[in-house]
A and B are shown apart, each in its own frame.
Chain A
Amino acid sequence: MTGPVLEMHQITKRFGSFTAIDDVTLTLGEGEILALLGENGAGKTTLMNILFGHYAAEAGRVRVLGTDLPSGRPRAAIEAGVGMVHQHFALAGNLTVLDNVMLGSESLLRLRSARADARRKLLRIADRFGLPVDPEAQVNRLSVGERQRVEILKALYRDARVLILDEPTAVLARPEAQRLFETLREMAAEGLSLIFISHKLQEVMAASDRVAVLRSGQMIAERNTAETSAEELAELMVGRKVTRPVRQAHPLGAPVLVARNLSIDDAGETQLQDVSFTVNEGEILGIVGVSGNGQATLSRMLSGLVKPTSGTMTLSGTDIRMLGPRGLIAARAGRVPEDRLAEGVVADLAVWENAILERIRTPAFSRHGFVRRAAAKAYATELITRFDIRGATPETRTGQLSGGNVQKLILGRCLSIGPKFILANQPTRGLDEGAIAAVHETLLEARSQGAAILLISEELDEAVALSDHIQAIVKGRLSKPVPSAEANAQKLGLMMAGIWEGDDHAA
């Protein structure tokens, strides 16, 4: 490694009275992979937006390859060789890969587009950095991982020497994430310098050379990855020692949710096939699998949004097969949806309104068609205190809360009905370490109070840590349950590939 390709020197950025970035200095060497680690709201994205020229900093300077960048000008950053891959892709789905890559890099005044040249250049870059791609494929048809590859190629096509990736694994399934990290290594070996933003410790440990930890806008520490540990980083990131709670073994009670031979056909396509499972009192049953294998349908069914085509489903002996969301809640089944901001809450409604929305027609919260606002707000206040929902008053717009606090609201709403059963679909996706611990704590607490919990998770560590039993979902079918004590990575890998014992159908 030679001199730094990138220096950010004493950067400070304020929004009004709030200091988002406080005197941060950061350097990046050639061929280096730097992880920028921090919790949600620590200022990671703001810092990178300053580097990329989206924001103008109040103080400090940015040097790329020895030249100072003028502040607040993204085009200057691009010309200096900085590329950015945002968390939410900016691709035109109805265009081809090549069109997307060329878009914006050609002068509007040119009469003829140099497609052939562009195509050659794209393929050359793809080959050199190990990013195979079909230039003529329509972006709509690509998987999320492939789309991300197109975003990276877009930056490289503009001759980026420094590449910033904002939470690149947030949208990826685990195998895709592994592949991405291999690609990053290859790119670094070719002399590119990379910064990736993350709040996930495992991937930081696995994929970076060096880690910079940001907390509340301040650079807390820098470590060489080889000389640190996940535990140390977690503590640096959160500012105190965070430990995920540990599940204590305890005897399980009577069966609560019993599902037998459930199938769901949707428009002639089988979404769930002959699915059976039992969740007992005080048990967490983990459902693991590669995303897109029927988890969404299973979750929708247990949320009352789709009805099974055949099979039976009972809750403490009562048939709940045909119940809708409100029927399920009345039967004391709580639901935590996968996408909390799209499904769990109406982001533009106030906290108190979201707190009662699914129970608005019960006598507790309405009378003669009128909402009992005082009761609803008192209830919201109670949820806020009891579940430590930070930054919230009953009147706060819900979308303004952080992801972790929205999740606390949804979980709190669930738990306050005294649930016999809880569906928790990806309850910690996108949350930072502190919030993950809080969610785990809450779920384990509900478990020890006797709730039966079905946990759908793509995080194997989480599933193993929380669950008493684990079943894998593959192409809409469930494996037999295995005790989580017996579930090692190899066994789970086989299960998730659809290879399970005593089953002839397995592919």
Chain B
Amino acid sequence: MRLERRSHVPLHIVFIAPVAAVCVALSLAAGLIAAAGVNPLTAYMELLRGALGSRLSISEMLTRATPLIFTGLAAAVAFRARLWNIGAEGQFFMGALMTAWVGHSLSLPGPLGVVILMLLGMVAGAALLAGPAVMRLRFGVDEVVTTLLLNFIALLFVGLMIEGPLRDPLAFGWPSSVPVDGAYRLPDLIPRTRLHYGLIVAIGAAGAVWLLFSRTVFGMESRATGLSAPAARFAGISLPGTLMGVAVLSGALAGLAGSVEVLGVTAGVTTTMSPGFGYAGIVVAMLAALQPAGVVGSAIFVATIFVGADAMSRATGVPSFIADVIVALCLLSMLVALLFTTHQVRR
């Protein structure tokens, strides 16, 4: 038995792969749920009900999906060009902090202010990834290590700022930054829920990234660079230029995630505002096979697991950590599934 490269990838396999990966992950997790003494079917029904059972739960799920779309896009953009950005979490926080800081004292008309604040969040995220990208280009430093470690530095920096200069005096001792001015808060998409217009921005971003990658010179050059650096160089593509462009785009998308989360949900920055949006973005991107269009769907799936797991935990007593287990299993089984989209088993 051996693996052989497929001469062409049939379209149906592209769609079956993530579905099969999710099924495998869910059945593996079912074993753990059963071990916790709960019928897996009951648990999964509770999970679905918790995420999709009511208007409120759907809105919560979509609220959770919004930053995941951005961080998923950030990972997809970088990974396609073989820039291993594991630092979306840190970039998320830098974007959030920048937005809250400037947004607290900015005095501009509402819509213009929102745009400026989002752009600033993007700049902050991009700036955090620019350092590792330059270090990789100039000195060959592995960006997996630098971006990963910068996450902790960024989080501790946020802690420093919200305990110090940016501390919100009205937060009753809660460690939170000053909030953005109410004029810049994103309006609700569905009244009396937390779901805000950030979702539209996120879907728009997915469309823009798709357009960029499939239709522009930059997109084609960065794909070529990711697929074969020597061939890209031979064709005259500047590898440093392309990689820096990708780094700026990826960092900006992760920064935008933090910015939108502040503008739409939290108003101020806390060190607990992200339940790992940056890391989960990697799973979102992989489940979407790094396709920008697929990121929206896979972000909704991952958000369903996270939001639903809380409800499941309340109803059945299975610890909500099972959500992390399910998402991690999805990542692993998707990696195997991706292999089978490009290869087939022969004997």
State which of B55-63, B211-219, B266-274, B302-310 sits at the interface with chain A.
B211-219
Q: Given A54-B2, A360-B221, A400-B8, does the pair A329, B230 have CB atoms closer than 8 Å?
A: no
Bound CA span A435–B236, Å:
27
Residue of A nearest to B211 (CB): A370
Taking CB atoms and an 8 Å cut-off, the chain B residues in 80-131 that contact chain A are: none
Closest to B233 in A: A305
In this assembly, does B347 line the interface, its C-beta being within 8 Å of a C-beta of chain A?
A: yes
Kindly report which residue of chain A lies nearest to residue B236, judged by CB atoms: A325
Chain A residue at smallest Cβ distance from B219: A371
- With the chains together, A397 CA to B220 CA distance in Å? 15
B347 proximity list for chain A (CB < 8 A): 55-56, 72
A contact residues around B234 at 8 Å (CB): 303, 305, 325, 335, 337, 343-344, 358
Q: Is B7 an interface residue (CB 8 A)?
A: yes
Q: Which residues of A contact B227 (CB under 8 A)?
A: 346-349
Contacts of A10 in B (CB 8 A): none
Cβ of A369 within 8 Å of any chain B Cβ, yes or no, is yes
Q: A370-B217, A397-B8 are in contact. Are A357 and B230 (CB under 8 A)?
A: no
Closest to A365 in B: B217
Q: Report the minimum CB–CB distance from B10 to chain A (whole Å).
A: 13
Question: How far, in angstroms, from A54 to B221 measured CA to CA in the complex?
Answer: 39
Select from chain A the residue with minimum beta-carbon distance to B223: A349
Which one, A326, A343, A353, A361, contacts B230 given CB within 8 A? A343
Interface set, chain B 1-30, CB cutoff 8 A to A: 2, 7-8
Rounded to whole Å, the gap between the CB of B225 and the closest CB of chain A is: 9
Cα-based distance from A287 to B8 in the complex (angstroms) = 39
Q: Nearest Cβ in chain B — how far from A73, in angstroms?
A: 11
Closest beta carbon of chain B to A306's beta carbon, Å: 11
Q: Does B193 contact A (CB under 8 A)?
A: no
Q: How far is the CA of A393 from the CA of B220 in the complex (A)?
A: 19
Contact B217 A361 (CB under 8 A): yes
**A370–B233 contact, CB under 8 A?**
no
Instruction: Identify the closest chain A residue to B221 (Cβ).
Output: A360
Distance between Cα atoms of A353 and B223 in the complex (Å): 11
A14 at the interface (CB under 8 A from B): no
A342 CA to B234 CA, complexed, in Å = 10
State which of A56, A342, A348, A358 has its C-beta within 8 Å of the C-beta of B235. Answer: A358
Q: Tell whether B200 is near chain A: CB-to-CB under 8 Å.
A: no
B236 touches A353 (CB 8 A): no
Complex contacts, A373 vs chain B, CB 8 Å: 215
Known: A54-B2, A325-B235, A325-B236. A360 touches B228 (CB 8 A): no
Name B228's contact: one of A348, A358, A369, A400 (CB within 8 Å). Answer: A348
Name the CB-closest residue of A to B215. Answer: A370
Interface string of A369-381 (1 = CB under 8 A from B): 1110100000000
Query: Which single residue of chain B is at the shortest CB-CB distance from A342?
Result: B230
Q: In the complex, how many angstroms separate the beta carbon of B81 from the nearest chain A beta carbon?
A: 13
For A326, the chain B residues whose CB sits under 8 A away are 236
A130 to B234, CA, bound (A): 42
Q: How far is the CB of A407 from chain B (nearest CB, A)?
A: 14
Contacts of B231 in A (CB 8 A): 342-347, 357
Q: Is A448 an interface residue (CB 8 A)?
A: no
Q: Is the CB of B148 closer than 8 A to any CB of chain A?
A: no
Interface status of B224 (Cβ within 8 A of chain A) = yes
With A343-B231, A353-B220 in contact, is A371–B215 under 8 Å at CB? yes
Asked if B293 CB lies within 8 Å of chain A CBs, one says: no
Q: A residues within 8 A CB of B220?
A: 353, 357, 360, 371
The 8 A CB mask of A356-370 against B (1 = contact, 0 = none) is 011011000010011
Judge whether A493 is part of the interface by a CB distance below 8 angstroms. Answer: no
Q: When the two chains form the complex, which single residue of B2, B215, B235 contacts A357, counting CB atoms closer than 8 Å?
A: B235
* Interface positions of B from 187 to 243, Cβ below 8 Å from A: 215-218, 220-221, 223-224, 227-228, 230-237
In the assembled complex, A430 has its CB within 8 A of some CB on chain B? no
Which B residues lie within 8 Å of A370 (CB)?
Answer: 215-217
Q: Is A282 an interface residue (CB 8 A)?
A: no
* B223 CB contacts on chain A under 8 angstroms: 349
Q: Does A476 sit within 8 A of B, measured CB to CB?
A: no
Q: Report B-chain residues with C-beta under 8 Å of the C-beta of A369.
A: 216-218
Give A195 Cβ to nearest chain B Cβ, in Å.
22
Output the least CB separation between B222 and chain A (Å): 12
Residues 300-325 of chain A: 1 if any B CB is under 8 Å from the residue's CB, otherwise 0? Answer: 00011100000000000000000011
Per the bound structure, the CA–CA distance linking A419 and B121 in Å amounts to: 49
> In whole Å, how far is B238's beta carbon from the nearest beta carbon of chain A?
8
- Verify B228–A324 contact, CB threshold 8 A: no
Partner of B224, one of A305, A335, A349: A349
Using Cβ atoms and an 8 Å threshold, which residues of chain A touch B224? 346, 349, 353, 357
In Å, the complex CA distance between A298 and B221 comes to 26
Minimum CB–CB distance from B342 to chain A (whole Å) comes to 9
Contacts of B235 in A (CB 8 A): 325, 346, 357-358, 360
A400 touches B7 (CB 8 A): yes
> Shortest Cβ distance from A392 into chain B, in angstroms?
13
Q: Which of B2, B218, B234 has the most CB of A within 10 A?
A: B234
Looking at the assembled complex, report how far the CB atom of A490 sits from the nearest CB atom of chain B, in whole angstroms. Answer: 37
By a CB distance below 8 angstroms, the chain B residues around A55 are 346-347
Q: B228's closest neighbor in chain A, by CB?
A: A346
Give, as a whole number of angstroms, the nearest-CB distance from B218 to chain A: 7
A366 to B228, alpha carbons, bound, how many Å?
Answer: 22
- Tell me the minimal C-beta distance from A473 to chain B in angstroms: 21
Q: Which residues in B have their C-beta under 8 angstroms from that of A337? A: 234
Cα-based distance from A438 to B95 in the complex (angstroms):
58
How many Å lie between the Cα of A342 and that of B235 in the bound state? 12
Neighbouring A residues of B2 by C-beta, 8 Å: 54
- Smallest CB gap from A396: residue in B: B8
Distance A54 CA – B230 CA, assembled complex (angstroms): 32
| Residues B8 and A366 in contact, CB atoms below 8 Å apart | no
CB distance from A55 to the nearest CB of B (A): 8
Task: Tell me the residues in window 51-82 of chain A with beta carbons closer than 8 Å to chain B beta carbons.
Answer: 54-56, 72
C-alpha spacing A366/B237, complex, angstroms:
15
- Complex alpha-carbon distance, A325 and B239, angstroms: 13
Q: List 25 A-B contacts (CB under 8 A).
A: A55-B347, A56-B347, A72-B347, A305-B234, A325-B233, A335-B234, A342-B230, A342-B231, A343-B234, A344-B231, A346-B227, A346-B232, A346-B235, A347-B231, A353-B224, A357-B231, A357-B237, A358-B234, A358-B236, A360-B221, A369-B217, A370-B215, A371-B217, A373-B215, A400-B8
Spell out A's residues near B (CB within 8 Å).
54-56, 72, 303-305, 324-326, 329, 335, 337, 339, 342-349, 353, 357-358, 360-361, 366, 369-371, 373, 397, 400
7 more CB-based (< 8 A) A-B contacts, given A335-B234, A366-B217 = A324-B236, A329-B236, A347-B228, A353-B220, A357-B232, A371-B215, A371-B220
Rank and list the top 10 A-B pairs by shortest CB-CB distance, nearest first: A325-B236, A326-B236, A358-B235, A357-B235, A343-B234, A346-B231, A348-B227, A346-B228, A346-B227, A346-B224
